[in-house]
Amino acid sequence: MKTCIACGMPMKKESDFAMGETKKDYCVYCARPDGSMQSFDDKKQGLINFTIKTQGLEKGIAEKAVENMMSKLPAWQEYFQKQKVC
């Protein structure tokens, strides 16, 4: 079983993968309509909105929770490493 590199979702069946392509490393929820992976900013905002909606967190707390989670995912490692250097 693969795990999405952009959100961490387990991808168990073909329909979980972007465009149903099991060779992709990211899930259907992290894909744009053309099948490419969402940008960091788009994914981050989507996850913040999802976290607020499903967990009822305040925006600032949701942002910190999402950043913490995203910093551990392979797709976003380069982004967080750049932040540490700056």
- Report DSSP state, residue 13: S
Predicted confidence (pLDDT) per residue in 53-71, tens digit: 999 999 999 999 999 999 9
Residue ranges covered by each domain of the chain: 2-85
Residue given tokens 């797709």 in the structure block: 75
Tell me the three state secondary structure of residue 2: strand
Predicted confidence (pLDDT) per residue in 5-47, tens digit: 999 999 999 999 999 999 999 999 999 999 999 999 999 999 9
| In 38-76, alpha helices (H) | 40-55, 59-70
